[in-house]
Amino acid sequence: MLVAAPAGAQHGYTRAEVENGARLFQASCATCHGPKGDAVRGVALLSGQYKRATSDEQLVNIIIEGIPGTSMPPNNYSAL
């Protein structure tokens, strides 16, 4: 979600937001999710379809809160 908005996303993203999201993903998420977002079994971040989220807000909540009982940790990110 951080790399680009999935098709049908609720929010339009500026080029700067997308580029910032890509940098953040590479620095913080790609270690586990892989550079293309498909290294975790059953997870394909660029597909735009997610098991636990149907909106950008829900994706943000997962990124911030993590997923208890899984290897997805909580994260301390701000909106800026």
Domain of residue 76 covers 1-80
Residue with tokens 């937001």: 17
Picking from 4-8, 9-13, 27-31, 48-52, which range would have the lowest pLDDT averaged per residue? 4-8
DSSP structure class, residue 2:
-
**Count of structural domains within the chain:** 1
Question: Cα torsion for 35, 51, 16, 74, to the nearest 10°?
Answer: -80
- Please, what is the average pLDDT of the chain? 85
pLDDT tens-digit readout, 14-41: 999 999 999 999 999 999 999 999 999 8
User: What is the Cα–Cα distance from 15 to 52, expressed in whole angstroms?
Assistant: 26
Judge whether residue 7 has pLDDT over 60: no
